[in-house]
């Protein structure tokens, strides 16, 4: 089909030339910058965090940075995710579907989908919970595990048209997790031993590093982040599916 | 024979060139495509390239992931954890923004039946 159109019409030549120019300039710039940056002796914030990381007794230094050293940043990040989920819910629940595109969403999902989901759902759920709980020991954590749990429920929603997540319940779970995060941060502020927001007020002996129950408050906070992210992403999926089924219901 | 690939300068150059090619593929898509969802896909590709640059520049050959496991006992000789944590933040924000933008595009298509940015002339007059 494309064979009749000449090559120069399939691409936008001016745009392509502009991109090539931009790429060349950025490459030059980065070469200059990196020659200065990478040859210098590495003694940045990251090395100081790494050398002090043992004080938190968390085996995963990335988790320490995300939850402990930059915990306030993570609180803001979770808030942005919450706002986006609210925005998606508002856009789809507003009843704007004036001229919905016709699509047969009420057709039954096929057998492969249903059986595969039946097989995958418990496995994905277990994997997600494992990743959330081992955030301070292995790669992963609340964000990744929460998204995996939400994906498990999303598969379930596609495979079974009667399966729905209740928005009110999701809202409660989300508010519980969010307020627990803030509460734990406040508790760190209240206790005299830490006296800082998100301070690690639970006992965290260095000897226990690498065990499941270690690092004090870090795994608990990451668990709350996981619950919150799972509920929010689940709500986004539910909104998108609901809008489709609503518009096709109007159509029929 | 391929040991020269492990020197930091060569390693970083390879990562950088690959990521930049990916970045400019995304930029081309952003400028040349007219379909709203294709534009969002292009933005995602550009984001991915930036994550790759951040992660790749922060580590050199011989450094391990900043996690104590597999017999490691001390936090030495590890890659910088901060770019990795910031990339995690950026991925989450990117997902949130893309979800919001895609829903806006879907609603726009429902209201007007248009998907192309060249036809978006509602606010012109």
- Domain ranges within chain A, ordered by starting residue: 41-251
Cα(A65)–Cα(B86) distance, integer angstroms: 9
pLDDT of A252 over the 50 cut: no
- By C-alpha distance, the chain B residue nearest A49 is B81
DSSP assignments along chain B, one per residue? --GGGGSHHHHHHHHHHHHHHHHHHHHHHHHH--BHHHHHHHHHHHHHHHHHHHHHHT--TTPBPSB--TT--SS-SB--HHHHHHHHHHHHHHHHHHHHHHHHHHHHHHHH---BGGG--TT--
Contact assignment for B88 to A50 by CB distance below 8 Å: no
The pLDDT assigned to B49 comes to 93
pLDDT tens digits, one per residue of A21-74: 988 888 888 877 777 666 555 567 777 787 777 777 788 888 888 888 888 888
pLDDT of B104 over the 70 cut: yes
Report how far Cα A245 is from the mean position of its chain's Cα atoms.
Answer: 26
The pLDDT assigned to A40 comes to 54
Q: Judge whether A194 and A154 are in contact, CB under 8 Å.
A: no
Between A120 and A250, where is the model more confident?
A: A120
- By C-alpha distance, the chain B residue nearest A83 is B96
Out of B80, B84, B110, whose CB is closest to A98?
B110
Q: What is the CATH number of domain B2-61+78-119?
A: 1.10.287.3510
Cα separations (Å) of A98 from A95, A250, B37, B50, B110? 8, 10, 20, 39, 7
H-only helix segments in A38-160? 45-52, 61-63, 71-93, 111-133, 142-159
Between A191 and A127, where is the model more confident?
A: A127
Lowest pLDDT segment from A90-104, A226-240, B48-62: A90-104
Q: Judge whether A214 and A206 are in contact, CB under 8 Å.
A: no
pLDDT of A239 over the 50 cut: yes
The pLDDT assigned to B39 comes to 92
The pLDDT assigned to B113 comes to 83
B32 touches A: beta carbon within 8 Å: yes
For testing contact with chain A, the best of B17, B29, B30, B66 (most A CBs within 10 A): B66
Cα(A128)–Cα(B41) distance, integer angstroms: 26
B117 touches A: beta carbon within 8 Å: no
Instruction: Report the predicted TM-score, pTM, of the whole model to 2 decimal places.
Output: 0.80
Out of B8, B67, B104, whose CB is closest to A138?
B67
B41 touches A: beta carbon within 8 Å: no
Cα separations (Å) of A63 from A32, A142, A153, B82? 33, 9, 26, 10
- Domain ranges within chain B, ordered by starting residue: 2-61+78-119
SS3 A163: coil
- By C-alpha distance, the chain B residue nearest A33 is B57
The pLDDT assigned to A102 comes to 43
According to DSSP, residue A11 is labeled S
Q: If you average pLDDT over every residue of chain B, what do you get?
A: 84
Contact assignment for A137 to B69 by CB distance below 8 Å: yes
């Amino acid at each position: 089909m494309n064979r009749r159109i000449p090559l120069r019409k399939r691409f936008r030549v001016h745009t392509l030339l502009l991109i090539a120019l931009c790429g060349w300039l950025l490459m030059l710039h980065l070469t200059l910058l990196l020659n200065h940056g990478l040859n210098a002796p590495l003694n940045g914030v990251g090395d100081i965090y790494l050398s002090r990381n043992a004080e938190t007794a968390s085996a995963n230094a990335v988790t320490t940075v995300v939850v402990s050293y930059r915990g306030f940043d993570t609180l803001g990040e979770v808030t942005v995710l919450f706002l986006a989920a609210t925005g998606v819910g508002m856009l789809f629940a507003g009843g704007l579907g004036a001229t919905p595109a016709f699509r047969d969403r009420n057709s039954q999902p096929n057998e492969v989908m249903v059986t595969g989901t039946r097989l995958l759902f418990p496995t994905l759920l277990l994997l997600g919970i494992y990743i959330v709980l081992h955030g301070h020991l292995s790669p992963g954590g609340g964000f990744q595990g929460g998204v995996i749990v939400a994906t498990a429920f999303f598969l379930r929603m596609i495979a079974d048209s009667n399966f729905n997540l209740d928005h009110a319940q999701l809202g409660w779970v989300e508010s519980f997790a969010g307020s627990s995060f803030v509460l734990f941060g406040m508790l760190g502020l209240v206790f005299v031993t830490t006296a800082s927001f998100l301070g690690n007020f639970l006992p965290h002996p260095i000897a226990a590093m690498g065990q499941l129950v270690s690092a004090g408050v870090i795994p608990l906070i990451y668990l709350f982040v996981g619950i919150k992210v799972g509920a929010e992403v689940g709500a986004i999926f539910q909104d998108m599916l609901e809008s489709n089924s609503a518009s096709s219901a109007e159509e029929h | 024979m391929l040991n020269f690939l492990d020197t930091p300068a060569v390693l970083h150059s390879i990562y950088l060139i690959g990521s930049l090619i990916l970045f400019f593929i995304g930029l081309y898509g952003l400028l040349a495509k007219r379909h709203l969802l294709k534009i969002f896909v292009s933005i995602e590709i550009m984001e991915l390239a930036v994550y790759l640059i951040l992660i790749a520049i922060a580590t050199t050959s011989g450094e391990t992931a900043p996690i104590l496991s597999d017999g490691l006992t001390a936090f030495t000789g590890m890659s910088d954890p901060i770019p990795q944590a910031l990339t995690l933040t950026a991925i989450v924000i990117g997902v949130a923004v893309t979800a919001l933008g895609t829903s806006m595009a879907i609603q726009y298509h429902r209201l007007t039946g248009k998907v192309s940015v060249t036809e978006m002339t509602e606010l012109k007059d």
